[in-house]
Amino acid sequence: MPALAVSELVLALSSAAEPLAGDAAVVLALVVVVAAVRLSLLPLSLRAARLGRRRLALRPAELRLRERFRRDPVRLRRELAALHASHGTSPLAGFGSSLAQLPFFLVLYRVFSAPTLNGGANALFTHTLLGVPLSDSWVTALGAGLLPASLAVFGVLFALLLVVAWWSSRLASRQALLAGRPAPDASGAADPALVTARVARALPYATVVVAAVVPLAAALYLLFSGAWTAAERWLLGGAHPQPTAA
């Protein structure tokens, strides 16, 4: 059972970290687990970075095609598909590493939201961070009446999530500015690259909403993983690519 295996891993790591981290041992264990998950997905991240640079280099050629075939949407879609296929990319590529994390996030949600696992007591269900149960969500704490500890922990968590979301959105905006803003074609269809850019700018802020309704441990995972993603995007963004001829 994946949830039981993750629970045992987190417990083992937190037991090793407890002499140094004390009450925050489980949180430190989560950081280690996030690092392990993200390192295992590094090949996908490197591929996404390569595809991003390749897509950016293709934008001048893509814009020329949009101008040339703006009154022929069927031909335009065919030419754009051929352009991206010839360079091994697509306007919607690059979300692989984000989607690959979803199964682990769902398992982590299960680990910290279920009082029992595989018919036995869930030892992690009662662990706390500064007195706040890692199984509690912001909504749960709000319904029970916010205590000072809950207010402090969730307040700091949401502040950090907003900082990470702002950073991620800013990086996405910078990429969108480099890509340019062509007008819609004659059919009125939106440019898929710009639709992707808009989604990439808005998506980081969705993690703040999700963090309000999931267990504190899962919200911490969103924080650590989001910071890792932003750092990866910043480090792997690379220099401004040279345009590709049509």
Q: What is the pLDDT of residues 116-167, one digit of tens each?
A: 877 777 778 778 888 888 888 888 888 777 678 888 899 999 999 999 999 9
Quote the pTM value: 0.74
| pLDDT for res 243 | 42
Percent of all residues in the chain with a pLDDT value above 90, rounded to a whole number: 9
For 186, the domain range is 2-236
Contacts with 132 (C-beta within 8 Å, 6 or more apart), sequence order? 141, 149, 150, 153, 154, 216
Output DSSP code: residue 187: T
Q: Is 114 a domain residue?
A: yes
Q: Are 14 and 22 in contact (CB under 8 A)?
A: no
Task: State the pLDDT at residue 24.
Answer: 81
pLDDT at 176: 62
Q: Could you give the dihedral angle defined by the CA atoms of residues 225, 228, 229 and 232, in that order, rounded to the nearest 10 degrees?
A: -160
Rounded to whole angstroms, the Cα distance separating 13 from 109 reads 18
Residue 186 has pLDDT above 50, yes or no: no
102: in domain: yes
Q: How far apart are CA 92 and CA 108, in angstroms?
A: 28
CA 148 from centroid of its chain's CA atoms: 30
Q: What is the pLDDT of residue 157?
A: 94
196 has a pLDDT exceeding 90: no
Q: Which residues of the chain form beta strands (DSSP E)?
A: 116-117, 120-121, 128-129, 132-133
For residue 133, the cross-strand partners are 128
Task: Tell me the average pLDDT of the chain.
Answer: 78
Q: Report if residue 161 sits inside a domain.
A: yes
What is the pLDDT, as a whole number, of residue 91? 56
Number of domains in the chain: 1
Asked if the model's pLDDT at residue 236 lies above 50, the reply is: yes
Instruction: Please give the residue that has the higher pLDDT: either 45 or 180.
Output: 45
- The CA distances from residue 112 to 121, 128, 227, in Å, are 12, 11, 21
CA distance 213 to 236: 32
Question: Please, which pLDDT band fits residue 241 given cuts at 50, 70 and 90?
Answer: very low
Q: How far is CA 234 from the centre of its chain?
A: 14
Task: Name the CA dihedral angle for 77, 81, 84, 87, rounded to a multiple of 10 degrees.
Answer: -140
Cβ proximity of 101 and 225 under 8 Å? yes
Q: Say if residue 245's pLDDT is above 60.
A: no
DSSP category for residue 115: S
